Structure 1
Amino acid sequence: MAKYDKADIERRMQGAIDSLKGDLSGLRTGRANTSLLDPVVVEVYGSMMPLNQVATVSAPEPRMLSVQVWDKANVTAVEKGIAKANLGLNPMIDGQNVRLPMPDLTEERRKDLAKLAGQYAEQSKIAIRNVRRDGMEALKEDEKKKEISEDERKRSEDEVQKLTDKYVGEADQAAQAKEKEIMTQ
């Protein structure tokens, strides 16, 4: 059934890292980051749409996000969508623009965000270990079917372990960098 495929294992481990980086970029630091508004959905034209399909998000200043709404009729819907997303931001309407000043982070909030970054990294490492387990099982199965020798299995298991170590290290580095960013902003 499962045949060992090193490229697939590496692709899946890289996917876990990419997902982690996406999660970490969504964590709010003191600085304005346009990806902070990625989870926002807005009710327009009778349906729910992602914010980026009804407006342009930019960061004109280090501590300010600006949302340029394309259709003036949707400005209040965008404001409501941002408020509903519960991001701790206070939208201010300015014509067809919605301005979002970034509030200062309290020390307690910084610690919570740093802890959350660590949790994201742990989830990523679990995903990477699950990919390793799948690879190891595929190797044992291939050996049992006599498709590879015991030496080949051991060599490939070492490769899988090296990949695992590499990607777990990347997850740790990404989380540590984000925690440092959160605590120093």
Structure 2
Amino acid sequence: MINEIQKSAESKMQKSLEVLKNNLSKVRTGRAHTGLLDQVNVDYYGSPVSVSQVANITLLDARTIGVKPFESKMAAPIEKAIRDSDLGLNPSSMGDLIRVPMPMLTEERRKDLIKIVRAEAEEGRVALRNVRRDANNDFKTLLKDKEVSEDDARRGEDLIQKLTDKYVAEVDKTLAAKEADLMAI
């Protein structure tokens, strides 16, 4: 019973860490990568969809992303969606190809990105704490139903706390690496 709760909590914490790493990979560091536009949504016949679902996204060079819409009439909405996103990008159309150059990061923009990254890391920590809270509630329920002893419940809570500390340290390590990447010129 305790092992099941612990395994479930660890699996959820691992997934939370993966989500954090995925979110941090979308914060740009000055280098172009196609995943950068994954979070940009464009209005497609009344419903918001990801740019990658309405266009082919490629790297033209190390600092430029090329976006080629599947339908030519989608070029203007895609360009507007990229421009209006909080990524600080300024796309330009060349026929049916939208070029998205990556501007050099200014010191001010780097600091803004670090604030964003720290907020993402805090959301990751909150997610881990929520998993811990749920697992501890499961232990309390088992104790209340007299399915485990107080000692076993306390031991289970201690295991979950150690697990939480381990994953919070992993979040901090991931955050430090991303901050170092952002501050590198």
Tell me, yes or no, whether TM beats 0.5: yes
Greater shift after overlay, 101-110 or 69-78?
A: 69-78
Deviation at 1:47, TM superposition (A): 4.0
Deviation sequence 1:41-87 (CA, Å, 0-9, x none): 22334543321111111223221111121222222222122122242
Report the TM-score, using the length of structure 2 for normalisation.
Answer: 0.88
Alpha carbons of structure 1 residues 162 and 76: separation in structure 2 relative to 1, 3 Å: same
C-alpha distance in structure 2 between counterparts of 1:125 and 1:140, whole Å: 23
Alignment partner, residue 179 of structure 1: 179
Alpha carbons of structure 1 residues 140 and 48: separation in structure 2 relative to 1, 3 Å: closer
Deviation sequence 1:157-184 (CA, Å, 0-9, x none): 2221121012111111111111111000
CA RMSD of aligned residues (A): 1.8
**Number of aligned residue pairs:** 182
1:143–1:149 contact (8 Å) kept in structure 2: yes
The answer to whether structure 1 residue 152 and structure 2 residue 152 are counterparts is: yes
C-alpha distance in structure 1 between counterparts of 2:111 and 2:55, whole Å: 32
The answer to whether structure 1 residue 99 and structure 2 residue 99 are counterparts is: yes
Question: Where does structure 2 lack aligned partners over 5 or more consecutive residues?
Answer: none
Deviation at 1:28, TM superposition (A): 2.0
C-alpha distance in structure 2 between counterparts of 1:46 and 1:162, whole Å: 47
Alpha carbons of structure 1 residues 138 and 181: separation in structure 2 relative to 1, 3 Å: same
Greater shift after overlay, 93-102 or 81-90?
A: 81-90
Alignment partner, residue 170 of structure 2: 170
Residue 116 of structure 1 aligns with an amino acid whose one-letter code is I
Alignment partner, residue 130 of structure 2: 130
C-alpha distance in structure 2 between counterparts of 1:43 and 1:94, whole Å: 21
Greater shift after overlay, 64-73 or 98-107?
A: 64-73
1:70–1:96 contact (8 Å) kept in structure 2: no
Alignment partner, residue 61 of structure 1: 61
Instruction: After TM superposition, list the pairs within 5 Å mapping 1:1-185 onto structure 2.
Output: 5-185=5-185
Residue 57 of structure 2 aligns with an amino acid whose one-letter code is V
Alpha carbons of structure 1 residues 134 and 46: separation in structure 2 relative to 1, 3 Å: closer
Question: Where does structure 1 lack aligned partners over 5 or more consecutive residues?
Answer: none
Deviation sequence 1:84-115 (CA, Å, 0-9, x none): 22421111212221111100111121122112
Alpha carbons of structure 1 residues 153 and 113: separation in structure 2 relative to 1, 3 Å: same
Percentage of pairs with the same residue = 45
Tell me which stretches of 4 or more aligned residues in structure 1 moved more than 3 Å: 44-48
Greater shift after overlay, 103-112 or 84-93?
A: 84-93
